[in-house]
Chain A
Amino acid sequence: MQVKLDALIEKSKIEWANLYSSKKTVILVGTATCGRSAGALDTINAIENFTNSNGIECEIIEVGCIGLCYAEPLVVIYSEDKPGVCYGEVDEKKVKTILKAHLIDHNPMQKYSLGTFGDEKVEGFPVLFNEPVLKYQVRRALAKCGIIDPTKLEHYLSFGGYEGLKNAFEIGPEKVIETVKDSGLRGRGGAGFPTWRKWQFCHDSDSDQKYLICNADEGDPGAFMNRALLEGDPHALLEGMIISGYALGASTGYIYCRAEYPLALERLHLSIEQAKDIGLLGSNILDSGFDFNIKIKEGAGAFVCGEETALIASIEGYRGMPRPRPPFPAVKGLWGKPTIINNVESLACVSLILKNGAEWFSEVGTESSTGTKTIALVGKIKNTGLVEVPLGTTLEDLVFKVGGGIPNGKKFKAVQTGGPSGGCVPLELLNTPVDYDSLNSVGTIMGSGGVVVMDEDTCMVDFARFFLDFAEKESCGKCVPCRLGTKQMLDILEDIVNGKGKIEDIKLLEDLSEGIISGSLCGLGQTAPNPVKTTLKYFREEYEAHIIDKKCPSKVCKELIHYWIDPELCVGCRVCLGSCPGGAITGDVKVVHVINDNLCTKCGMCYEVCPPKIDAIEIIPGSSVRVV
């Protein structure tokens, strides 16, 4: 089997080199979920139509997500001898223009280009990887995403794929754990627990059967790092799992992946088949004497199943409810056997560590948080997408350098890390480094790597309410502090955003937070109050404005705003009047329009339809009628 794999590696490397040295045109199109939602499949159709009808011989490669999601669909064109040029927002309609310029007139189009792909320079084009969005990144786990075709094992192999596994087999399980220990790798799924330590527990326990589970549930709403990795480089996970299984002495691995990721699931199924065919899964893998198989379990839509013991219950066929720990799964897990649960990214890092060495891994990052972290940058930020930065990069650099800052000239307000379990970090603390310990010290957590940026238009009370609503819905109901506590907190927050808040509520929220944090059974409840706690700490004045002044300063909470037509600006065009579903606007042609607050449902229709040139409608904090 080893021989067969080595031959395939050799062949893959040659084919990859030939692909780019040949005269043939090569076109890469990003077709991960983000690319597809932006229309990448239509773009491919259009490319095929164009090249076919113009007799251009070309190879179209569907690649994963390179992370510049804001500019999807992304297309990279390598024509004959020119270096690759990356184009952004290439919808169907632009294909013809771009391809004609690039492939027929041999004149790459600057207008739609983001830069050149690779190191070579072309007059007038920036080098894409020197642009701020990529320059500050260190792409390791994501290095191949957007470069290789994830459905081809050969592509993975040509980049040194499965070399880590070969090394692991050479040094043996104990040395594998030692290497992971030396690398300093901490779990990328949430808590940042040292990976080697769990492994050691499991390795040392004496059991006829042990299990490895990859947590690909990615329940944090607003995060998609694992999805991108699974869709863009699925073999990286498989390799990490085989290495981990070998170190633990486990013969079966499960991937628990959420059903909402159909493309990731498809890629995983395919990769597992490919790995089986070449003897990377099954019995006596690469003549090492080690047997390992991987099964896929689809999640059924419950956030709490990301918690280790709930996840195990779910695989066993029960309601996904957590149980008290200890015993920890490493001692007593799936079907009572020692079980290790690791996040997708942690396992992908393992393949890199075994390939490149522990020292290489810890070259970047901080002393206690080594390596890099993939981060989903979303919300009110210019470069929304997926990035990978060294741990220890400050939030400020992440938001303003890599992320390009806040769009539409708005002001930055806060950044939320760690999803529903995390907290908000305000402007004053933007110099906080993104590492496990620093984020904890300001009241939030790293979580799985979701970073949501908010601008002045985001209401922090509403935002906290949003997360509590999520926690309340997702609470499994087993323990009282979480089940009833989140409900009480949500009710109070609903009151506040609806203008019925009382000043005592703030204290009550703080007390409830403490009770839920200390009394809950699992991580869901223990962290659910974090969004409220941090917004109360850093944005207390917004709560007070809602409660005392009955105003929503960010103009979000419907009950605490009103719409107003500026008589100086209104030209009496009847557009808003006609669109108002509640009949709340009076006026006539060339007669200033007025909103009757008693009838207004605050649907915002008038605000949206008022012609931009006139822009006479304002949203004003506070529910009372403004006196002019």
Chain B
Amino acid sequence: MQIDLESVFSGYSGKREEIIPILQDAQEKLNYLPKEAMRKIAKFVRVPESSVYAIATFYAQFRFKPMGKNHVMVCRGTACHVNGATRVLEEVEEQLGISEGETREDMEYSLETVACIGACSLAPCMMINKDVEAKINKKKVAKIFSQGN
């Protein structure tokens, strides 16, 4: 695969402190961080590739496999946990046919859990792409995904 990150690099000067923002921008552009991109980023900031991996693997935000078209993030924060997030996650897994951390083969959905989306007062919550779904229960989960499927 030929990967072009020039548009990302043009906003930076190649300093070490820019690695994380560059990784963020590259992932935004490419949907994930393929090997080729990691190599190019390492070259651009002039640090060993292993160091770029060391940083990228430390932070939960970065992924090294492509993600599905829809990114489903079920919150497993405290407020959501107390309000039944475990059951919600089970139901989402059931509906999508994948487990936490997986992407469906048809590339329609990826499922992840997150620590908190900040809508704790309307727990339990999940986020689908940029939209927050609040006060969800098994029924609501079934409804949401039966439309999209």
A residues within 8 Å of B by Cβ?
Answer: 33-34, 36-38, 69-70, 72, 218-224, 227, 259-262, 297-298, 300-303, 314-321, 376-380, 384-386, 416, 419, 450, 452, 454, 458, 463, 466-467, 470, 474, 476, 603-604, 608
Contact = CB atoms under 8 A, between A and B. Distances in A.
Of listed B18, B75, B118, residue having the most chain A CB within 10 A: B118
Given A37-B125, A319-B55, A380-B82, A302 B60 contact: yes
Contact of B120 (A261, A378, A463): A378
A-B interface, 3 closest residue pairs, ranked by CB to CB distance from nearest: A222-B78, A221-B77, A69-B121
Contact of A301 (B60, B120, B130): B60
A300 B62 contact: yes
Contacts of B18: 317
Contacts of A463: 81-82
A380 B61 CA distance: 30
A70 B121 contact: yes
A450 B121 CA distance: 11
B25 to A, nearest CB: 10
Nearest to A335: B17
Contacts of A386: 121
Interface in B38-89: 54-55, 58-62, 75-83, 87
Given A37-B122, A301-B60, A320-B59, A219 B132 contact: no
Interface residues of B, number: 45
Interface of B: 15-21, 23-24, 54-55, 58-62, 75-83, 87, 90, 114-123, 125, 130-135, 138
Contact of A317 (B19, B61, B77, B135): B19
Contacts of A319: 54-55, 58
Given A317-B17, A317-B55, A227 B82 contact: no
Contact of A260 (B16, B17, B87, B114): B114
Contacts of B131: 37
Nearest to B87: A604
B110 to A, nearest CB: 15
A380 B59 CA distance: 32
29 contacts: A33-B118, A34-B122, A36-B132, A37-B122, A218-B118, A220-B116, A221-B77, A221-B116, A222-B77, A222-B80, A224-B119, A224-B121, A260-B116, A298-B20, A298-B21, A298-B24, A300-B59, A302-B60, A317-B16, A377-B121, A379-B78, A384-B121, A385-B121, A419-B78, A463-B81, A466-B78, A467-B78, A603-B90, A608-B138
Contacts of A69: 121-122
A463 B78 CA distance: 9
Contacts of B58: 302, 319-321, 476
Contacts of A454: 82
Nearest to B125: A37
A302 B59 CA distance: 6
A223 B116 contact: yes
Contacts of A38: 122, 134-135
Of listed B18, B59, B78, B138, residue having the most chain A CB within 10 A: B78
Contacts of B61: 259, 300-301
Contacts of B20: 297-298, 300, 314, 317
A332 B18 CA distance: 21
B59 A450 contact: no
Nearest to A531: B78
Nearest to B57: A319
A183 to B, nearest CB: 29
B24 A224 contact: no
Contacts of B118: 33, 218, 224, 227, 260-261
A378 B55 contact: no
A380 B81 CA distance: 11
Contacts of A603: 90
